Amino acid sequence: MAEPRRLPPGQRNVRKWPRLDLGIVPRFDPKTWDFRVDGEVDAPLRLTYEEFLGLPKATVSTDFHCVTGWTTYDNAWEGVSIRELADRARIRPSARFATFTCADGYTTSHPLPVLYDADVMMAYRWDGNPLPLEHGGPVRLLVPKRYAYKSAKWVRQVTFTAEEQLGYWEVRGYSNTADPWTEDRYSF
């Protein structure tokens, strides 16, 4: 059993994490899939799946926390850092946030300082295998220090913005900061 301090308050440790989403698992065709980076940038990107996988790779091992009360330890992730995408798109000084738009219509956003942490990425591998579709494959956002609803699944677009745009759950009363260590689940 892990040290109690590793498990945030109100969480329980699980080995297998459940699938939670809006009820739609988008189809994935590597021949037609693309990933876009736009908004407050000078060089918008549109990457094919092969091009995305060819970007410099980041790796991290993190715990993963769901707002519904479960945590899974020691997840090995591979992907592309947000900083890498921002640099390639030549982000403008006016950009202070990023909004993530997903294939199922889901959205979420974060301030850039959160996204530039070393353990934050657009993940495409989990525990040595391609990220399963039911857990957000081919590419999901990973923000380990936030509840998992802030780690959007099936991301297809990152839009850098000057002003923050609240996402799907945030406009429905969930916390925008979503800190598991303070049990920051709701905004009211």
pLDDT digits 0-9 by tens, 24-49:
788 999 999 999 999 999 999 999 99
Query: Would you state the structure tokens that stand for residue 62, as one six-digit string?
Result: 């993190």
pLDDT (tens digit per residue) in 77-114: 999 999 999 999 999 999 999 999 999 999 999 999 99
CA gap 31, 149 in Å, rounded: 28
CA gap 117, 101 in Å, rounded: 20
Mean pLDDT, rounded, for 116-131:
97
Show me where the domains of the chain are located: 35-182
Answer with the residue of higher pLDDT: 99 or 134.
Answer: 99
Mean pLDDT, rounded, for 43-70:
96
CA gap 131, 169 in Å, rounded: 23
Query: Would you state the structure tokens that stand for residue 120, as one six-digit string?
Result: 């934050």
At residue 180, the pLDDT reads: 95
At residue 24, the pLDDT reads: 79
CA gap 153, 22 in Å, rounded: 10
CATH of range 35-182; options 3.90.245.10, 3.90.420.10, 1.10.287.70, 3.40.50.10320? 3.90.420.10
Answer with the residue of higher pLDDT: 114 or 3.
Answer: 114
Indicate the average pLDDT of the chain. 93
pTM of the model: 0.93
At residue 94, the pLDDT reads: 98
| Whole-number Cα distances in Å, 7 to 46, 47, 68, 72, 83 | 39, 37, 14, 9, 28
pLDDT band at 188 (very low <50, low <70, confident <90, very high): low
Judge whether 150 and 138 are in contact, CB under 8 Å: no
Answer with the residue of higher pLDDT: 20 or 39.
Answer: 39
In the chain, how long is the greatest CA-to-CA distance? 49
At residue 21, the pLDDT reads: 65
pLDDT band at 187 (very low <50, low <70, confident <90, very high): confident
